[in-house]
Amino acid sequence: MMNEPAKQRMTRQRQVILDELMSRKDHPTADELYAAVRRKLPRISLGTVYRNLDVLMRSGLALKLDMGGAQSRFDADISPHYHVKCVSCGRVDDIRETGFVEITLPPSRDDGYAITGVRVEFDGICPQCRGRE
C-alpha cells in the first residue's frame, strides 16, 4: 500500500554517468554525456544514458535543465545557483552571485494559483562570443 521508494542499484553505467557529470562544470546534453561515457564503457547505449539520467534526477542527484532549445542539459551540482545561457553559442554556465535576485513568492490567492516555485534563468553573451564580435 505504501509507496515504497523504488530500489535502485548503483550500476557501473550509472556510476560512470554520474562521475562524468560531476566532473564537469559545463552542463552537457544527453548525447554529449553519451559520447564522453562511451570512452569508458564502449558498449553503453544512448537509451541507458537517458534512463539513468532520469533515475539520477528522481533521486535528487542531478538536475535537468530546460533552457530552451531542442535538447535538455544536465547538472550534478544540486546546490542552489542560477544559470546563464549564451544567446550566441548556446553554452550554459553557472551564476554564483545571487545577491541581485529578490523574489517573494506571492500568497496563494490572486487568480487562485498556489505558487510552489520559481525558475530564474539569464541570457547573455559569453566571453568567447564577446571577443569574436
Partner DNA sequence: ATCATTGCAAATGGTTTGCAAGACC
Partner DNA sequence: GGTCTTGCAAACCATTTGCAATGAT
114 in contact with a second copy (CB under 8 A): yes
Question: Which of a second copy, DNA, none does 122 bind, CB closer than 5 to 8 A by kind?
Answer: a second copy
The cell numbers describing 12, all together, are 557501473
What residues from 20 to 79 belong to the interface with a second copy (CB under 8 A)?
A: 66, 68
- List beta partners, residue 85: 92, 123
Say whether residue 48 binds DNA (CB under 7 A): yes
Residue 112: left if φ>0, alpha if ψ -120 to 50, beta else—which one? Answer: left
Q: Using the rule CB under 7 A, which residue among 2, 3, 39, 43 binds DNA?
A: 43
Question: Cβ(128)–Cβ(89) under 8 Å?
Answer: yes
- Answer whether 6's CB lies under 8 Å from 59's CB: no
Asked if residue 59 binds DNA (CB under 7 A), the reply is: no
Using CA atoms, how far apart are residues 79 and 111, in angstroms rounded to an integer? 32
Nearest approach in angstroms of CB 14 to DNA is 5
Contact status: 70 vs DNA (CB under 7 A)? yes
Closer residue to a second copy, CB minimum distance, 38 or 124? 124
Task: Give yes or no for a contact between 31 and 46, defined as CB atoms under 8 angstroms apart.
Answer: yes
Interface residues with a second copy (CB under 8 A)?
A: 66, 68, 84, 86-87, 93-95, 97, 100-106, 110-127, 130
